[in-house]
Homo-oligomer: A and B are copies of this chain.
Amino acid sequence: MALYVYKFGGTSVGTPERIKAVAEKVKKAHDAGDQIVVVVSAMSGETNRLVGLAKEMQVQPTDREMDVLLSTGEQVTISLLSMALHNLGCEACSYTGAQVKILTDSSHTKARIREIEDTRIRNDLAAGRVVVVAGFQGVDEQGNITTLGRGGSDTTAVALAAALKAKECLIYTDVDGVYTTDPRVVSKARRLDKITFEEMLELASLGSKVLQIRSVEFAGKYNVALRVLSSFSEGNGTLITYEETEMERALISGIAFNRDEAKLTLTGVPDLPGVASKILGPVAAENIEVDMIVQNVAESGTTDFTFTVNRNDYLRARKILDDLCIQLGGKQVSGDNGIVKVSIVGVGMRSHAGIASTMFKVLADEGINIQMISTSEIKISVVIDEKYLELAVRALHKAFGLDQE
């Protein structure tokens, strides 16, 4: 008998029929003798419906009230799934985040989990019940309802798996695992049986939107074995583990890309200590997330500072930079919102030299100009013109041997 945490996203519980299918899956595992905790999201479409209602009330509703509103979405699903389980003769009990309770800080709409009380869940499991928990939501010390932000249901599932020391946390989604790259771009993209947390982190943050990045961080930190698999088909999905179990692993695990990038450059700023924070501080203050940051070595006392942001934030960021350019005595601001980022990811590159030069050569052979480069221990990212995206990804996928089974 082992304890598993199952998580089903909005698409997997998007209709009454799908909720019933989830109940069948859960009952099967429960009947096999395992202890099952199920974490569910709001039915797909529900969050948008609620956001629509909110927007009719107020252009910018307060975060506290948005959390009160949106948390009803999962609350509906937990009760429906419990009913579906009861209908199959399977004992089950539902809990909201506040009921569990999943204690968070008070950062509404993006709260962080502080602690999980597991007494009620353990009692229910011991009594042979399936426990159904609302994902995405928690409660702060004052009893206010909080939510964990986009993809927060994954985080709930992983946090519960950690708190309950579950054998595995199974994330059911609409894809059947993690792929070497997006199959819509490269038809030969393959599902990976295993991947390390670090690789997954890089892939997730770079645009392979299988799992929410925070849940992967959490899983890595608490050593929770995470499995991504499909609600709609059979198969073992992709296991995300801490250990590099395979000795002979590929150099590169996958190729990620992000279409929604824009870059901004501030040239000729005096190269003084603190200049980076003077530039990025005002950007962060406007809640604009910065992705890649590149600062070249200074020439004749000035430096050029380039960073990328989400394309939606381009105009706002540009305005901030225009102001800063005057304040800081810079030369000029330039930008481009027609760029994409392509990254190769793999723990193999730690112990193998020459990966970067191979990557750059592959791109050069295709006539693709590299505009920015940024590297980490297990990832190399380049910024290129958006028109080359598919070409670059396919060429790299082939060059690093990912086309082969």
Q: Which A positions have Cβ atoms within 8 angstroms of B?
A: 16, 19-20, 50, 53-54, 56-59, 61-62, 64-66, 68-69, 71-72, 75-76, 78-84, 86-87, 93-94, 96, 98-99, 143-145
Contact = CB atoms under 8 A, between A and B. Distances in A.
A96 to B, nearest CB: 7
B69 A76 contact: yes
B143 A99 contact: yes
Given A56-B16, A57-B83, A68 B62 contact: no
Nearest to A98: B98
A80 B80 CA distance: 24
Contact of A62 (B71, B75, B83): B83
A68 B94 contact: yes
Given A75-B72, A76-B72, A143-B99, A57 B94 contact: no
A53 B78 CA distance: 12
Contacts of A69: 75-76, 79-80
Contact of A54 (B54, B62, B83): B83
Contact of A79 (B20, B68, B82): B68
A66 B79 contact: yes
Given A68-B96, A75-B68, A79-B69, A16 B62 contact: no
B72 A86 contact: no
A153 B19 CA distance: 30
Nearest to A66: B79
A84 B59 CA distance: 10
Copies in the complex: 2
Q: 4 nearest interchain CB pairs?
A: A57-B83, A69-B79, A72-B72, A16-B56
A78 B68 contact: yes
Given A58-B87, A65-B94, 11 more contacts: A16-B53, A50-B76, A53-B80, A65-B79, A68-B75, A68-B78, A69-B75, A72-B76, A98-B98, A99-B143, A99-B145
Contacts of A61: 79, 83, 86
Given A66-B79, A68-B75, A86 B99 contact: no
A65 B50 contact: no
Nearest to A73: B72
Contacts of A99: 143-145
A82 B54 CA distance: 10
Contacts of A16: 53, 56-57
A54 B68 contact: no
A74 to B, nearest CB: 9
A50 B83 CA distance: 13
Contacts of A20: 57
Contacts of A71: 75
Nearest to A80: B57
A325 to B, nearest CB: 36
Contacts of A79: 54, 61, 65-66, 68-69
B65 A83 contact: yes
A76 B75 CA distance: 11
Nearest to A59: B87
Contacts of A72: 72, 75-76
Contacts of A94: 65, 68
A71 B79 CA distance: 11
Nearest to A71: B75
